[in-house]
Amino acid sequence: MRGPPHPHDICKAGQITTNGSGVASVVFVTPLLSPAYVVCLTCEDPADTAIAMWSNKAVGGFDIKTENDQGQSEGSVTVDWIVLPYNNS
């Protein structure tokens, strides 16, 4: 039987607002054990044109960039995020 989840193994979630260039960095208070996790992003964009992407995934966090449907910076956008470590056991 498995004991309670280790703080490094649990999902993490939050909200961040990108800067005027459409970028932001998510930094975990407690790092994960490995960068083997899935990232899900949802933009809170009233115009419904923002697309959020992640990059530079690491144990301590990841970067977010938002663009519009034309590939241009979307500027300041609030993004909800959640990460969940892969469970390969």
What confidence tier does 2 reach under pLDDT thresholds 50, 70, 90?
Answer: low
Domain spans of the chain? 12-85
Q: Quickly state the pLDDT bin for 1 (edges 50, 70, 90).
A: very low
Q: Work out the mean pLDDT of the chain and round it to a whole number.
A: 86
What pLDDT band is residue 6 in, cutting at 50, 70 and 90?
low
Burial readout 3-35 (b: 16 or more C-beta within 10 A, e: otherwise)? eeeeeeeeebeeebebeeebebebeeeeebeeb
- Give the residue, 51 or 2, on which the prediction is more confident: 51
Domain 12-85 has CATH 2.60.40.2080: yes
The 10s digit of each residue's pLDDT in 8-46 is: 567 899 999 999 899 999 999 989 888 999 999 999 877
